[in-house]
Structure 1
Amino acid sequence: MKYYAIIVAGGSGSRMQSDIAKQFLLLEGLPVLMHTIKAFSECSLIPHILLVLNIDLHKYWEELCLQHSFNIQHEVVSGGSQRFHSVKNGLKAIKGKGIVAVHDAVRPLVSAELISKSYQVAEETGNCVVGVTPTDSVRRISEGGKSEALSRNELALIQTPQTFDIDLLKKAYQTPFRNDFTDDASVVEYSGVSINLIEGERQNIKITYPEDLEIASILMKKTKKAPL
Structure 2
Amino acid sequence: MSSAAASAPTQTPRFAILVAGGSGTRMGADRPKQFLELRGEPVLLHTLRRFSEAALGVQECIVVLPAAQFETWQQLCTLHHIKLPHTVVAGGESRWASVRNGLAHLNAQPAGIIAVHDGVRPLTPLSVIEATYAAAAVHGAAIAAVTPKDSVRGLSKEGSYALDRSRLRLVQTPQCFELGLLRRAYQLPELSTFTDDASVVEDLHPIHIVPGDYRNLKITTPEDLLLAEALLG
TM-score over 0.5 (shorter chain) = yes
1:156 aligns with 2:164: no
Q: Which residue of 2 aligns with 1:10?
A: 21
1:157 Cα offset (Å)? 0.1
1:93 to 105, 128, 137: 105
Unaligned stretches of 5+ in structure 1? 222-228
1:37 aligns with 2:27: no
Relative distance call for 1:49 and 1:145 in structure 2 (3 A) is farther
1:42 Cα offset (Å)? 1.3
Distance 1:15 1:41 in 2: 29
1:19 Cα offset (Å)? 2.6
- Give yes or no for contact 1:43–1:115 (8 Å, CA) kept in 2: no
1:43 Cα offset (Å)? 5.1
- Give yes or no for contact 1:101–1:161 (8 Å, CA) kept in 2: yes
Distance 2:30 2:95 in 1: 20
Q: Which residue of 1 aligns with 2:95?
A: 83
1:46 aligns with 2:60: no
User: Alpha-carbon deviations, 1:20-40, whole Å to 9, x = none?
Assistant: 111111100001000000011
- The correspondence of residues 135-174 of structure 1 with structure 2, limited to 5 A, is 135-142=149-156, 144=157, 146-174=159-187
- The correspondence of residues 109-148 of structure 1 with structure 2, limited to 5 A, is 109-142=123-156, 144=157, 146-148=159-161
- After TM superposition, the score normalised by the length of structure 2 is 0.92
- Give yes or no for contact 2:128–2:211 (8 Å, CA) kept in 1: no
Distance 1:73 1:44 in 2: 15
Distance 1:75 1:112 in 2: 21
- Secondary structure of 1:13's aligned partner: coil
Q: Which residue of 1 aligns with 2:82?
A: 70
1:107 aligns with 2:117: no
Q: Which residue of 1 aligns with 2:36?
A: 25
Identity across matched positions, percent: 47
Aligned length in residues: 219
Relative distance call for 1:12 and 1:88 in structure 2 (3 A) is same
- Secondary structure of 1:70's aligned partner: coil
- After TM superposition, the score normalised by the length of structure 1 is 0.94
- Secondary structure of 2:202's aligned partner: helix
1:81 Cα offset (Å)? 0.4
Q: Which residue of 2 aligns with 1:193?
A: 205
Unaligned stretches of 5+ in structure 2? 1-11
Alignment-mate amino acid for residue 105 of structure 2: A
Of 155-164 and 90-99, deviating more is 90-99
User: Alpha-carbon deviations, 1:145-202, whole Å to 9, x = none?
Assistant: 6111101101000000000000000001111111110000000013x31110110011
Deviating 4+ runs (over 3 angstroms): none
